[in-house]
């Protein structure tokens, strides 16, 4: 039988030696989300395909080229989620979360799937952190979401990020812009790619987001949306800018930002870095006031963003930002003989119950190999228990850093003795167990 020794193209494994980096970043995301009043939402990895066709937009690259869609055994058409917002919006509607009162604030950490050419910073399975707000029409909400994203970068120590913002108008003013785009791109129709020619009448704004070099070059001289937005959208955008100014958050207006999904209205924004190559957008989002209505609900102002975790980790690496490694083993115990191994197991579990990290041999190594392993995993202390130690009810703990040795009892007094040696690294749970706080 042929061994399967490689993953699917466009996917990556997160190995035990690297997972701490993800956990560190995710923990900061969770803490910052909580500080802004957000609670976690978890949605299924696949949804009815129609959900994404209606929300993301059937003229987008995501729907036309990138979705993983398949037919179930029951004949339903389902799609692996290409982004997180549509599923969150569907869940809010299905479960009547709006009855909890507005604003609804939700965040997610989730995997997404798009069939794209894999490259640095772009995978077919990727992971996003996202924040969603429902029921908040004010421009203060736009600024708050942008500041929430920025707070994560600040906590991680990320530098040299550019915040770019734009307004793409609303259903009242966008038709005029579409007319101007149709006229402009219509003069270049023969030069456009096949996909963009099909978009010309249905949704010309999508041409601005085309990845084709030819279409991108033509789009550089296209009319800009800020020349067409209505007074309400202009006032809203001015409000967003005034809030960002008040928060001291630097930004630049980039009228070419339209975002790649059809549900966006009014404010759109991106955090962009020049440190990670072509895939420089680390976070993108904006307002999507028509999304809930498009899915069959009542008109509900909504907004949020998605932040690529893979790209964020690449950015941290590119800027030399080190992520703290996980705690090392506090105590490694070698048991020599069945009775000694049982005693070692008992003590190891006691130390673990005190929220410290303890390990012992479970693969059948000898004494020398175990001590070598204890050194390899960075154990702070080690201890050997054999027949002599059991008979004396005492053993010797060795400080692996300086080589000092200390005799300790093997009865309940062991924990007091070990704590005295480990006091600088012990936590409150351990202190409480010993009655020392």
Is the residue at 306 inside a domain?
yes
Same structural domain for residues 411 and 365?
A: yes
CA dihedral 286, 124, 112, 301 (to 10 degrees): 20
Instruction: Please write the tens of the pLDDT for every residue from 11-30.
Output: 999 999 999 999 999 999 99
Is the residue at 205 inside a domain?
no
Is the residue at 75 inside a domain?
yes
Is the residue at 326 inside a domain?
no
Same structural domain for residues 48 and 157?
A: yes
Q: Residues 302, 142: contact at Cβ < 8 Å?
A: no
| pLDDT over threshold 80, residue 434 | no
The DSSP annotation for 293-359 comes to HHTTS----EEEEEEEHHHHHHHHHHTT-PPPPPP--SEEEEE-SHHHHHHHHHHHHHHHHTT--EE
Same structural domain for residues 354 and 427?
A: yes
Q: What is the CATH number of the domain that holds 359?
A: 3.40.50.800
Count the neighbouring beta carbons within 10 Å of the beta carbon of residue 341: 18
Is the residue at 266 inside a domain?
yes
Is the residue at 220 inside a domain?
no
Residue 359 β-bridge partners: 332
| Cα–Cα distance for residue pair 49/57, rounded to 1 Å | 11
Is the residue at 179 inside a domain?
no
Same structural domain for residues 310 and 355?
A: no
Is the residue at 199 inside a domain?
no
Same structural domain for residues 94 and 235?
A: yes
* Structural domain of 240: 19-173+229-318
| pLDDT over threshold 90, residue 59 | no
* Residue where a domain terminates, one of 268, 294, 318: 318
Q: What is the CATH number of the domain that holds 165?
A: 3.30.930.10
Q: Residues 316, 274: contact at Cβ < 8 Å?
A: no
Same structural domain for residues 309 and 336?
A: no
Count of domains for the chain: 2
User: What was the pLDDT predicted at 275?
Assistant: 78
Q: Residues 299, 99: contact at Cβ < 8 Å?
A: no
User: What was the pLDDT predicted at 19?
Assistant: 94
Same structural domain for residues 120 and 259?
A: yes
Same structural domain for residues 342 and 365?
A: yes
Q: What is the mean pLDDT of residues 372-381?
A: 94
* Residue where a domain terminates, one of 290, 318, 346: 318
Count the neighbouring beta carbons within 10 Å of the beta carbon of residue 347: 22
Q: What is the mean pLDDT of residues 191-212?
A: 86
Task: State the chain's mean pLDDT as an integer.
Answer: 90
Same structural domain for residues 303 and 408?
A: no
**Degrees, nearest 5: CA angle 143-151-16:** 135
| pLDDT over threshold 60, residue 123 | yes
Same structural domain for residues 368 and 264?
A: no
Same structural domain for residues 277 and 354?
A: no
Instruction: Please write the tens of the pLDDT for every residue from 287-343.
Output: 999 999 999 999 999 999 999 999 999 999 999 999 988 888 999 999 999 999 999
User: What was the pLDDT predicted at 358?
Assistant: 96
* Residue where a domain terminates, one of 269, 297, 318: 318
Instruction: Please write the tens of the pLDDT for every residue from 237-267.
Output: 999 999 999 999 999 999 888 876 778 899 9
Same structural domain for residues 297 and 385?
A: no
């Amino acid at each position: 039988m042929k061994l399967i020794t490689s993953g699917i193209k466009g996917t990556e494994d997160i190995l035990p030696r690297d997972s701490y980096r993800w956990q560190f970043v995710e923990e900061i995301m969770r803490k910052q989300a909580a500080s802004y009043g957000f609670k976690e939402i978890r949605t299924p990895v696949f949804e009815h395909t129609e959900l994404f066709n209606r929300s993301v937009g059937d003229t987008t690259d995501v729907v036309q080229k990138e979705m993983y869609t398949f037919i179930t055994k029951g004949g339903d058409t389902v799609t692996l989620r290409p982004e997180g917002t549509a599923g969150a919006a569907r869940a809010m509607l299905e479960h009547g979360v709006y009855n909890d009162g507005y604003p609804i604030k939700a965040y997610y950490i989730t995997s997404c799937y798009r069939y794209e050419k894999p490259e640095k910073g772009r995978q077919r399975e990727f992971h996003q952190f996202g924040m969603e707000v429902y029921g908040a029409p004010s421009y203060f909400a736009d600024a708050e979401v942008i500041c929430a994203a920025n707070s994560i970068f600040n906590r991680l120590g990320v530098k040299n990020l550019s915040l770019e913002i734009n307004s793409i108008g609303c259903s009242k003013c966008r038709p005029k812009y579409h007319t101007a785009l149709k006229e402009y791109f219509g003069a270049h129709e023969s030069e456009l790619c096949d996909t963009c020619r099909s978009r010309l009448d249905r949704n010309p704004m999508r041409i601005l987001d085309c990845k084709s070099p030819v279409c991108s070059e033509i789009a550089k001289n296209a009319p800009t949306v800020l020349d067409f937005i209505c007074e309400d959208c202009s006032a809203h955008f001015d409000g967003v800018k005034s809030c960002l100014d008040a928060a001291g958050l630097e930004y630049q207006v980039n009228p070419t930002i339209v975002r790649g999904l059809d549900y966006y209205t009014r404010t759109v924004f991106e955090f962009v870095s020049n440190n990670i190559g072509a895939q420089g957008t680390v976070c993108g989002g904006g307002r999507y006031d028509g999304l809930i209505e498009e899915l069959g609900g009542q008109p509900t102002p909504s907004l949020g963003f998605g932040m690529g975790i893979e790209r964020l980790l690449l950015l941290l690496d590119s800027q030399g930002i080190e992520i703290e490694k996980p705690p090392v083993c506090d105590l490694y115990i070698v048991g020599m003989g069945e009775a000694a191994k049982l005693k070692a197991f008992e003590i190891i579990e006691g130390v673990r119950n005190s929220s410290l990290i303890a390990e012992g041999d479970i693969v059948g190594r000898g004494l020398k190999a175990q001590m070598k392993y204890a050194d390899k995993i960075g154990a702070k202390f080690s201890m050997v228990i054999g027949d002599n130690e059991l008979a004396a009810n005492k053993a010797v703990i060795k400080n692996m850093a300086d080589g000092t040795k200390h005799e300790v009892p093997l009865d309940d007094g062991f924990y007091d003795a070990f704590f005295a040696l480990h006091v600088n690294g012990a936590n409150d749970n351990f202190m409480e167990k010993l009655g020392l706080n």
